[in-house]
């Protein structure tokens, strides 16, 4: 397998413009003869479907929810970055580029990140024009805030619902095209297989989640925008339906999987209360702007928080990282919380939690100001925990939140399978080993609105219009049959346990051995436990009902089956990456005071895994990364 | 702090759209008050699967009150007894030991039942596709700060835009009207300068679609506002009525437009 | 319907004409409701003259009949007739649509915000319709009046209410009127889009006040006759 990133040459600032010019164009009259299949209607998929339809392509878009508006992008709270420099605080495209590369611990491609920073400004303009109600100043101009520890105020936001508003903007543009007949929308359809004809992506097989019908759809290009796979951990901040199935099938058909072990654990989530827990809820990072994080200084201190005097508290982030304090980046804050809890100083019923305290801020700013800033978040916290954060400190704990890994793509967002493009969180991303706050929304929309409309055209210009296979082509039939066989296999196991049971068990293994901190022994243990669990899964699964109706147990089983395989690849990747970088922390590679140690000499590359058959160890390919416009510095937030 | 409850559920079970359906009683034991309502149903479902019975089908996704996919009528109230809360954000501490809980799907002609508690709300998407947008193809936008928006309007637009499309308003309305949902979108766009060019065609087009979907009409009961998890206000309905009247009074039959100066 | 369907507009329809749209018919209801509401208020004030005696009241009746050389009353009759007709038509068509919109009702229905008044508009409205017919036969044309004397409005008024059954029906109808206005007056401001948080409490209060006033004063007439205050 060859990994050709197709990075245009020339100076960094001119690469994208030059590339756009070099890409071949599709004749406007021909566009409608190309059918594009887009899986996913989140920020990336929704934006792409609308934009490509506006250009005149014949678009079909798929999502598993009942409406494209419900894609998981809707849950993003904090905001979206752009290099507008509206605050005159010395922001620039180059600074956003630099911060993103550095934040990603120098494991991202410079050219991609620079393009991302360049188009970030167009995104804001586009969204404003769509009617996204971004926060405004009294003078009527757009408001910005500093987010996720950035030193400049470049984050645009719409209350605590930025993702929702951006998604609704894309959704409305998409609905307009649906109304005009340019997009055919397939809701409650799940992609189950990718169709290749002579090694080129030409279609997908879906299951209609209402009727159970297995259908093939053929097109001239396939775009996956199916979001992240963090639900592999079972407990995560993702929506329950988020899955890896689409990209996993593509991986098994030959698309390389980039950096599967890079997961982001977000420091401020509501802690687990018990085994019944079905998901974790994120509390916006903005809380860290005013809240102070602490645990009791003594082990096993059971006193109520207000009974613990100031000098017996450990404000560990402020202590360890005096200049960033409570705003230290996500990976660092998360790991620090784990350390104090592992140390036996965690709070709450399970001992897995730390305090996020607003007492000082309330004294300083007054309760009214606090309510103004965080009222809705406090209310949400109160709803979930039954505790009033105006009176007692919040309890928080880290949870899986984002996956930087995903299908490997080149500069054109094309995977190693010709004709298969991957966008948004589903690709291995521009965020390197760690994503900065408010950058995922930016990347999803950049990919969908401003990259794919150009690069896809470049691909399509090279193939004949309407050259797609017929639905009765042998390759199509074969893919369809394999999906049917899989469904019957699930239904015929007739064991005892539910898919949720297996999912929970898988999550425990991964959280323990491939979570916030990893080591060789643990990863090897996981690599032994996961196949055992998988075997048990295929023997002892029980799915009531049939495949020819709504069957949510069957849907879940399919997703869990894929997670079982992905989990193993994550551990393998984590094992092979013998360094600590960003979200990937190997205990063997740390300084005496617990800071990550990168190994640029051996690991300054993307790891891209090639599937070689069931039961066989996949092949690890590398795409070397070079840093010409930034220096490979040690990321320090001291 | 944590307690456990034993409750009796009366759940609407319906195999598919053709099946007449009916209530089935289930007993749920050892339900922790820390559980969300959906987690309680998960527990019931796990037990059903263990027994080889079909679990109760219900829609959900984000489980944090933002995607709008969940929605059950619990003891006669869409999203249950807590105000401004979605079903997924409702927790079992809102109930008492020994409670009887009736769980029904959202009822409206426009929302046929798919299975059990899952209904088809695609009518909402068609209302949006009829005009709930600003026509601005990608790449045509001026600078984000080119048009200032008064803060009051921006905030009111955001209030309206907070709608999650859950359809509890329809479920609660004695007339099964979709006015609150539709008015929220119309208001949001009407409050912003970007929404002005299509303001008056939008309101007529969306309303035409709502009527075509067999929703009822608004007789100003106000149940929708009370059920709405996102506090969308009746004021939006008044605002859309205003726009509709203006659009109709100034309608130009030759062009199909109206609302102009 | 998993795949999206075209919406009504792409299916070739243009936006519906005013009266075909639900809000259009609501506006008809509100406009005619306003006329009717205005009429009952003025009518109530006119009837208050019953407390001033036969002369004043009959004089007033004559004055009304003489307006615009006798044309005034016919104009107002025409307007009222049209208003009631349109109002009833809109009410009927919307009620049918609303009932069809929820074919299966809830087993456990609980209401949070709506009132008995808002949910019974169609019944209080129908009662009012029946009342109007009876009322015209009673006090205007006299067919339903046992002791009708053409032209002597005051006498007809007194002898009419001396029949207890008639008075009871009047009282019931006025209660219906009160409930109908209580929700209706608020509702019509909402339909006309007259909403603003600053005036919203006022809107509610106004509707409530009008309802109590009109119904209260109207109910006082039969009671005053039965108790002999007016004779
Ligand atoms: C709680 C939370 C808060 C966040 N806050 C922020 C923030 O403040 N700022 C920020 O920049 N980022 C934030 N993020 C990250 C960001 O929201 C996501 O990374 C981003 O929205 C992903 O967008 P997407 O379009 O790639 O995928 P998604 O929005 O996840 O869309 C995936 C789509 O694919 C479809 N799909 C998936 N699988 C299948 C299948 N098998 N078949 C058919 N369809 C399928 C789904 O139906 C859906 O339409 C947050 C994430 C979470 C979880
Ligand atoms: C023919 C008999 C009548 C019927 C069947 C009837 C029925 C109705 C109905 C169903 C409504 C709609 C309820 C709503 O929108 O909330 C309504 C509204 C109203 N009615 Fe009547 N009504 C009748 C007579 C009257 C009379 C005689 C009056 C005046 C005294 C009146 C005044 C109003 C008003 C003011 C409204 C509010 C309009 C609005 O909602 O915008 N109605 N009526
Ligand atoms: C207790 C309450 C009421 C009393 C005492 C009352 C009394 C009268 C009297 C005395 C007349 C005859 C006037 C005349 O012939 O000159 C009259 C006419 C009439 N009343 Fe009433 N009325 C009452 C309530 C109502 C209500 C609630 C309505 C409407 C909803 C109504 C509608 C009419 C109409 C339409 C006429 C006929 C006017 C005409 O000549 O065209 N009345 N009323
Ligand atoms: S208006 Fe409220 S109840 Fe209706 S769909 Fe929107 S959020 Fe749900
Ligand atoms: S409850 Fe229904 S009647 Fe109108 S005010 Fe709300 S839509
Ligand atoms: S599941 Fe998303 S709002 Fe409840």
Q: Residue A529 and residue A506: Cα distance in Å, rounded?
A: 9
Q: Are A230 and A238 in contact (CB under 8 A)?
A: yes
Percentage of chain A modeled with pLDDT above 90: 90
Give the mutation target among C140, C147, C151, C179 for probing the ligand 3 site: most ligand atoms within 8 A of CB: C140
Closest listed residue to residue A582, CA positions, set A635, A622, A518, A538? A635
The reply to whether ligand 1 has any atom less than 6 angstroms from the CB of A167 is no
pLDDT tier at B255, thresholds 50, 70, 90: confident
Alpha helices (H) along A294-439: 316-320, 330-342, 359-365, 367-385
pLDDT digits (tens, 9 = 90+) for C119-166: 999 999 999 999 999 999 999 999 999 999 999 999 999 999 999 999
> CB atoms < 10 A from the CB of B42, how many?
22
* Secondary structure string (H, E, C) spanning B217-229: CCCCCCHHHHHCC
Window 80-119 of A, Cβ < 8 Å to B: 84, 86
Would you say residue B140 lies in a domain?
no
User: Which residues on adjacent β-strands are paired with residue A422?
Assistant: A224
Q: Residue A609 and residue A260: Cα distance in Å, rounded?
A: 8
Would you say residue A611 lies in a domain?
no
Q: Are A560 and A537 in contact (CB under 8 A)?
A: yes
**Which pLDDT does position C11 carry in this prediction?**
47
Would you say residue C74 lies in a domain?
yes
Would you say residue B258 lies in a domain?
no
Using the Cβ of C106 and the Cβ atoms of chain B, whether some distance falls under 8 Å is answered with yes
Domains held by chain B: number: 2
Over chain B, what is the mean pLDDT?
96
A122 & A178 share domain: yes
What DSSP line would sit under B46-100, residue for residue?
HHHHHTTPPPPP---SSSSSSS-----EETTEET-SSTT--GGG-BGGGS-TT-E
A167 & A39 share domain: yes
Q: How many residues make up chain A in this entry?
A: 638
B73 & B178 share domain: no
Q: Residue A582 and residue A598: Cα distance in Å, rounded?
A: 9
> CB atoms < 10 A from the CB of C43, how many?
13
Region of poorest pLDDT, from A180-194, A335-349, A438-452: A335-349
Would you say residue B259 lies in a domain?
no
A148 & A230 share domain: yes
CATH number at residue A288: 3.90.700.10
B131 & B103 share domain: no
Would you say residue B90 lies in a domain?
yes
Substitution target from B100, B179, B217 for chain C, most C beta carbons within 10 A: B217
B101 & B46 share domain: yes
B55 & B150 share domain: no
Would you say residue A279 lies in a domain?
yes
Which two structure tokens, joined as six digits, stand for A160? 């605590």
**Which pLDDT does position A324 carry in this prediction?**
87
A97 & A189 share domain: yes
**Which pLDDT does position C1 carry in this prediction?**
37
The one catalytic residue among A35, A249, A288, A330 = A330
* Domain that residue B131 falls in: 121-135+145-250
A445 & A549 share domain: no
B125 & B223 share domain: yes
Closest listed residue to residue B13, CA positions, set B23, B26, B27, B5? B23
> Residue A504 pLDDT more than 70?
yes
Residues of B in contact with C25 (CB under 8 A): 217
Would you say residue A591 lies in a domain?
yes
A505 & A584 share domain: yes
C-chain residue closest to B23, CA distance? C107
A355 & A443 share domain: no
Would you say residue A619 lies in a domain?
no
Over chain C, what is the mean pLDDT?
92
pLDDT digits (tens, 9 = 90+) for C31-72: 999 999 999 999 999 999 999 999 999 999 999 999 888 899
B131 & B21 share domain: no
Which two structure tokens, joined as six digits, stand for A547? 């495949």
* Radius of gyration for chain B, computed over Cα atoms and rounded to the nearest angstrom: 21
Q: Pick the ligand that lies closest to the CA of residue B165.
A: 4
Using the Cβ of C103 and the Cβ atoms of chain B, whether some distance falls under 8 Å is answered with yes
Beta strand A257-258 pairing with A406-407 = antiparallel
Q: Residue A449 and residue B137: Cα distance in Å, rounded?
A: 10
CATH number at residue B234: 1.10.1060.10
> CB atoms < 10 A from the CB of C74, how many?
11
B208 & B108 share domain: no
B102 & B149 share domain: no
Does the distance separating the beta carbons of B223 and C112 come in below 8 Å?
Answer: yes
A423 torsion bin: left (phi>0), alpha (psi -120 to 50), beta (else): beta
Taking the alpha carbons at both ends of chain C, their separation in whole angstroms is 70
A156 & A97 share domain: yes
Would you say residue A609 lies in a domain?
no
Would you say residue B261 lies in a domain?
no
Region of poorest pLDDT, from A204-218, A250-264, B238-252: B238-252
A173 & A57 share domain: yes
Instruction: Tell me the ipTM for this assembly.
Output: 0.96
Would you say residue B155 lies in a domain?
yes
Strand, helix or coil for residue A313: strand
* Secondary structure string (H, E, C) spanning A585-612: CECCCECCCCCECCCHHHHCEEEEEECC
Q: How far is the CA of A282 from the centre of ligand 6 (A)?
A: 14
- A-C CB pairs within 8 A amount to 24
* Segment (H or E) for A394: strand A394-403
Closest listed residue to residue A515, CA positions, set A334, A293, A295? A334
> Residue B45 pLDDT more than 80?
yes
B246 & B167 share domain: yes
* Domain that residue C144 falls in: 14-99+112-226
pLDDT digits (tens, 9 = 90+) for A126-175: 999 999 999 999 999 999 988 877 889 999 999 989 999 999 999 999 99
The secondary structure of residue A92, as a DSSP letter, is -
A302 & A328 share domain: yes
B182 torsion bin: left (phi>0), alpha (psi -120 to 50), beta (else): alpha
A206 & A293 share domain: no
pLDDT digits (tens, 9 = 90+) for A461-495: 999 987 899 999 999 999 999 999 999 999 999 99
CATH number at residue C125: 1.20.1300
Q: How many residues make up chain C in this entry?
A: 231
Domains held by chain A: number: 3
* Domain that residue A584 falls in: 474-603
B190 & B108 share domain: no
pLDDT digits (tens, 9 = 90+) for A562-594: 999 999 999 999 999 999 999 999 999 999 988
A377 & A413 share domain: no
Q: Which residues contact A478 (CB under 8 A, 6 or more apart)?
A: none
CATH number at residue A553: 1.20.58.100
* Secondary structure string (H, E, C) spanning C56-98: HHHHHHHHHHHHHHHHHHHHHHHHHHHHHHHHHHHHHHHHHHH
Beta strand A394-403 pairing with A263-269 = antiparallel
Q: Pick the ligand that lies closest to the CA of residue B182.
A: 4
Q: Are C153 and C57 in contact (CB under 8 A)?
A: yes
Closest listed residue to residue A574, CA positions, set A258, A261, A105? A261
Closest listed residue to residue B141, CA positions, set C181, A121, A289? A121
Would you say residue B77 lies in a domain?
yes
Residue B112: what are its φ and ψ, rounded to 5°? -60, 145
Would you say residue B260 lies in a domain?
no
A559 is catalytic: no
> Residue C8 pLDDT more than 50?
yes
């Amino acid at each position: 397998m060859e990994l050709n990133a197709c990075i245009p040459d020339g100076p960094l600032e001119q690469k994208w413009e030059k590339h756009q010019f070099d890409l071949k164009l599709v004749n406007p009259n021909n566009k409608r003869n190309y059918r594009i299949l887009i899986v996913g209607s989140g920020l990336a998929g929704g934006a792409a479907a609308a934009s490509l339809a506006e250009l005149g392509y014949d678009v079909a878009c798929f999502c598993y929810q009942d409406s494209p508006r419900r894609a998981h992008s809707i849950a993003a709270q904090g905001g979206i970055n752009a290099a507008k420099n509206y605050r005159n605080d010395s922001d620039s495209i180059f600074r956003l580029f630099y911060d993103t590369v550095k934040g990603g611990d120098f494991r991202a491609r410079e050219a991609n990140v620079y393009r991302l920073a360049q188009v970030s400004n167009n995104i804001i303009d586009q969204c404003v024009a769509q009617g996204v109600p971004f926060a405004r100043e009294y003078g009527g101009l757009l408001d910005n805030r500093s987010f996720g520890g950035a030193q400049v105020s470049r984050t645009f936001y719409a209350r605590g619902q930025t993702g929702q508003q951006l998604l609704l903007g894309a959704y409305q543009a998409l609905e307009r095209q649906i109304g005009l007949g340019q997009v055919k929308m397939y809701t409650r359809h799940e992609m189950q297989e990718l169709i290749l004809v002579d090694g080129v992506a030409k279609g997908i097989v879906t299951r209609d989640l209402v009727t159970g019908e297995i259908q093939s759809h053929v097109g001239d290009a396939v775009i996956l925008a199916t979001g992240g796979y963090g639900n592999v951990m079972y407990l995560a901040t993702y929506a329950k339906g988020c899955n890896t199935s689409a990209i996993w099938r593509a991986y098994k058909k030959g698309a390389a999987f980039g950096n599967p072990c890079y997961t982001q654990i977000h420091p401020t989530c509501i802690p687990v209360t018990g085994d019944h827990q079905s998901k974790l809820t994120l509390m916006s990072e903005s809380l860290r702007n005013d809240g102070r994080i602490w645990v009791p200084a003594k082990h096993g201190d059971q006193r109520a928080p207000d009974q613990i005097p100031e000098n017996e508290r450990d404000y560990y982030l402020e202590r360890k990282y005096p200049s960033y304090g409570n705003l230290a980046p996500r990976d660092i804050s998360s790991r620090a919380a784990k350390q104090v809890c592992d140390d036996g100083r965690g709070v709450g019923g399970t001992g897995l939690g730390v305090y996020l305290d607003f007492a000082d801020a309330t004294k300083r700013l007054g309760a009214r100001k606090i309510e103004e800033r965080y009222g809705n978040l406090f209310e949400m916290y109160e709803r979930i925990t039954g505790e009033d954060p105006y009176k007692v400190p919040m309890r928080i704990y880290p949870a899986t939140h984002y996956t930087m890994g995903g299908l490997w793509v080149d500069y054109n967002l094309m995977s190693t399978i010709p004709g298969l493009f991957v966008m948004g969180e589903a690709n291995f991303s521009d965020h390197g080993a760690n994503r900065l706050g408010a950058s995922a929304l930016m990347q999803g929309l950049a990919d969908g609105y401003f990259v794919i409309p150009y690069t896809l055209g470049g691909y399509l210009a090279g193939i004949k219009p309407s050259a797609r296979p017929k639905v009765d082509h042998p390759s199509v039939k074969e893919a369809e049959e394999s999906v049917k066989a899989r469904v019957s296999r699930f239904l015929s196991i007739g064991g005892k346990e539910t898919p949720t049971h297996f999912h929970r068990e898988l999550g425990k293994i991964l959280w323990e051995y491939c979570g916030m901190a990893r080591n060789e022994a643990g990863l090897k243990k996981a690599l032994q436990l996961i196949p055992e669990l998988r075997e048990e899964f295929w023997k002892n699964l029980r799915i009531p009902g049939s495949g020819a109706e709504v069957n949510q147990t069957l849907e879940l089983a399919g997703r869990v089956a894929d997670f079982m395989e992905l989990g193993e690849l994550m551990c393998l990747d984590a094992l092979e990456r013998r360094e600590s970088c960003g979200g990937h922390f190997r205990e063997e590679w740390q300084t005496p005071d617990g800071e990550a140690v990168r190994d640029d000499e051996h690991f300054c590359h993307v790891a891209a895994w090639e599937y070689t058959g069931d039961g066989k160890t996949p092949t690890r390919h590398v795409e070397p990364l070079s840093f010409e416009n930034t220096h490979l510095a040690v990321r320090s937030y001291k | 702090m944590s307690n456990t409850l034993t409750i009796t559920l009366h759940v609407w079970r319906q195999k598919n759209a053709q099946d007449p359906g009916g209530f089935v009683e289930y007993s749920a034991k050892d339900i922790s008050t820390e559980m969300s309502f959906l987690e309680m149903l998960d527990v019931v479902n796990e037990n059903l699967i263990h027994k080889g019975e079909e679990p109760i089908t219900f829609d959900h996704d984000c489980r944090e009150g933002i995607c709008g996919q969940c929605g059950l009528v619990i003891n006669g109230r869409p999203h249950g007894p807590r105000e401004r809360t979605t079903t997924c954000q409702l927790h079992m501490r809102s109930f008492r030991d020994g409670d009887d809980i009736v769980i029904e799907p959202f009822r409206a002609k426009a929302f046929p039942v798919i299975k059990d508690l899952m209904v088809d709300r695609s009518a909402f998407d068609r209302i949006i596709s009829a005009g709930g947008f600003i026509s601005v193809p990608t790449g045509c936008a001026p600078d984000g700060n080119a048009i200032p928006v008064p803060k009051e309007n921006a905030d009111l637009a955001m209030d309206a835009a907070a709608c999650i499309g859950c359809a509890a308003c329809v479920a609660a309305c004695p007339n099964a009207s979709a006015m609150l949902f539709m008015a929220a979108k119309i208001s949001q766009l009407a409050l912003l300068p970007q929404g002005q060019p299509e303001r008056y065609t939008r309101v007529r087009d969306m309303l035409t679609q709502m009527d075509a979907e067999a929703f009822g009409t608004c007789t100003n009961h106000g149940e929708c506002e009370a059920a709405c998890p996102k506090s969308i206000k009746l004021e939006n309905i008044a605002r859309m009525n205003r726009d509709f009247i203006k659009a109709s009074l100034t309608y130009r039959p030759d062009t199909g437009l109206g609302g102009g100066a | 319907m998993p795949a999206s369907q075209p919406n009504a507009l792409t299916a070739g329809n243009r936006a519906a004409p005013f009266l075909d749209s639900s809000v259009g018919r609501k506006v008809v209801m509100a406009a005619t409701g306003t006329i009717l509401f205005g009429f009952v208020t003025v009518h109530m004030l006119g009837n208050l003259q019953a407390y001033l005696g036969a002369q004043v009241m009959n004089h007033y009746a004559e004055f009304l009949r003489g307006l615009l050389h006798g044309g005034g009353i016919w104009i107002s009759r025409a307007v009222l007739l049209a208003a009631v007709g349109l109002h009833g038509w809109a009410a009927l068509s919307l009620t049918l649509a609303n009932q069809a919109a929820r074919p299966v009702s809830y087993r456990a229905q609980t209401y949070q915000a709506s009132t008995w008044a808002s949910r019974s508009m169609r019944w209080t409205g129908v009662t009012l319709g029946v009342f109007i017919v009876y009322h015209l036969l009673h006090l205007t044309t006299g067919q339903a009046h046992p002791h009708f004397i053409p032209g002597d409005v005051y006498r007809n008024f007194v002898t009419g209410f001396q029949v207890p059954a008639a008075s009871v029906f009047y009282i019931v109808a006025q209660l219906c009127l009160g409930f109908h206005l209580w929700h209706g007056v608020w509702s019509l401001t909402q339909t006309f889009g007259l909403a603003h948080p600053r005036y919203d409490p006022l809107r509610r209060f106004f509707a409530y006040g009008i309802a109590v006033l009109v119904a209260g004063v109207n109910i006082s007439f039969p009671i005053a006759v039965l108790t002999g205050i007016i004779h």
